[in-house]
Amino acid sequence: MSLPNAQVVSCTRCPRLVQWREEVARTKRRAYRDEDYWGRPVPAFGAASARLLVLGLAPGAHGANRTGRVFTGDSSGDWLYRALHAAGFANRAASVRAGDGLKLKGAAVTCAVKCVPPQNRPTREEQEACRPFLGAELAALKRLRVVIALGHLAFDAFLKARGGAAPRPKPRFTHGAEFETGRVTLLCCYHPSRQNTQTGRLTRPMFEKVFRRAGTILRG
Burial of 181 by CB count in 10 Å (0-12 exposed, 13-18 middle, 19+ buried)?
middle
Task: Say yes or no to pLDDT of 18 above 60.
Answer: yes
pLDDT digits (tens, 9 = 90+) for 144-188: 999 999 999 999 999 999 987 777 788 899 999 999 999 999 999
Query: In the chain, how many domains are there?
Result: 1
For residues 215 and 21, give the distance between their C-alpha atoms in angstroms, rounded to a whole number: 35
CATH number, domain of 11, equals: 3.40.470.10
* pLDDT tens digits, one per residue of 39-88: 999 999 999 999 999 999 999 999 999 999 999 999 999 999 999 999 99
| Domain enclosing residue 209, as ranges | 5-218
